[in-house]
Amino acid sequence: MQYWFFAAFVAVVVFLFYRYVTRESRQKAAALAEDFPAAWRQILSERVAFYLSLTAKDKLRFEKKIQVFLAQTLITGVQTEIDDVTRVLVAASAVIPVFGFADWEYGNLSEVLVVPDAWKEQQDPNKEVAPLSGTLLGSVRNFQTSRYMHLSKASLEQGFRDALDKQNVGIHEFAHLLDAADGTIDGVPSATLPPELHAPWAEVMAREIQAIRDGNSEINDYAATNEAEFFAVVTEYFFEKPEKLQEHHPELYELLLRAFRQNPKKRFLRFAVDPREWLKTLRSRRKFGRNDPCPCGSGKKYKDCHLLQQQAAA
């Protein structure tokens, strides 16, 4: 009797252990098996210029990465509601910097905490603080072996509202997590940048930071706070206004191409109408003829593309 009880106990323990160690893979498989919600696709199509710049095949891959991230990541509202828009924009912020890597997952992220707006704390050079104001828009914090991200909901939405202003707090914070993948948030993305480029990166980074401090750079002054902030700020610049980054900082741009394994400039410039400008137009509610080419770059007529989506959502 005792033998059978012990055997049953061992079997239960083994089963629970198996469920625990395979939890993430099962979540991922379940997410990949699901159809991508039409409401999420509309959010991406109306808010995320990076998504609009992708080919049809890459859009599907982007959507799958969104599903996996949301299946595996806890997003919690603190005194604010977490709706589909918030969830999709957080996920897009996470996917954009690592889209060049087939199987990247943020293994060091435990939870994303979303608060209504910016907040004030005692200033600390190791936290994400907006220049001059002492106001936090986002932060990445350590707790034991895990990291927690805080994001301002208002700032998250603003980051995607203007895709040409070189600022996106969501991308900024996930750049820190990418930087942290090697164990240290130090401005050197060692997990993705080839080892032979570490020294050139350090040289370019030091030169660019000094130029900012000397007032000889159009890169946001906050990038000169420290090396970690430099990497996060230029990551925003790289994904929002890559053509200007390449024009003014060609060495930096080439190194970021290698670090991210992406070329956002090439994606944006293949369109007759820039997807970033298209989103501005969409928000301004400028009228398009029903038979005009849809400015989103799909190749369809406006009446068969975004006009149809807007009518279906109404």
Alpha-carbon Rg for the chain, nearest whole angstrom, is 22
Alpha helices (H) along the chain? 2-21, 23-33, 38-47, 49-52, 56-72, 84-98, 153-161, 169-179, 198-213, 227-240, 242-248, 250-260, 264-269, 275-284, 306-313
Could you list the pLDDT tens digit for every one of the 314 residues in the chain?
A: 566 665 665 555 554 544 444 555 555 556 555 889 999 999 999 999 999 999 999 999 999 999 999 999 999 999 999 999 999 999 999 999 999 998 888 877 889 999 998 777 665 555 554 444 456 777 877 655 568 899 999 999 999 998 888 999 999 999 999 999 988 899 999 999 999 999 999 999 999 999 999 999 999 999 999 999 999 999 999 999 999 999 999 999 999 999 999 999 999 988 888 888 888 777 765 555 667 666 555 667 766 775 555 444 33
Rounded Cα distance, 142 and 103, in Å: 24
The H or E element spanning position 295 is none
Q: Which residue has the tokens 């993705």?
A: 192
| 293, two tokens | 């080419």
The tens digit of pLDDT for each residue in 195-204 reads 999 999 999 9
What pLDDT is stored for residue 303 in this prediction? 64
Phi, psi values for residue 271, rounded to 5°: -100, 145
pLDDT of residue 273: 82
pLDDT of residue 45: 93
pLDDT digits (tens, 9 = 90+) for 262-300: 999 999 988 888 888 888 777 765 555 667 666 555 667
**How much is the pLDDT for 313?**
38
Entry field: residues in the chain = 314
pLDDT confidence of residue 183: 86
Pairing outcome for strands 146-152 and 138-143: antiparallel
Give the model's pLDDT for residue 1: 56
Report the relative pairing of strands 109-115 and 74-77 from DSSP bridges: parallel
* Residue 156, beta-bridge partner list: none
Handedness of CA 183, 188, 193, 194 (dihedral sign): negative
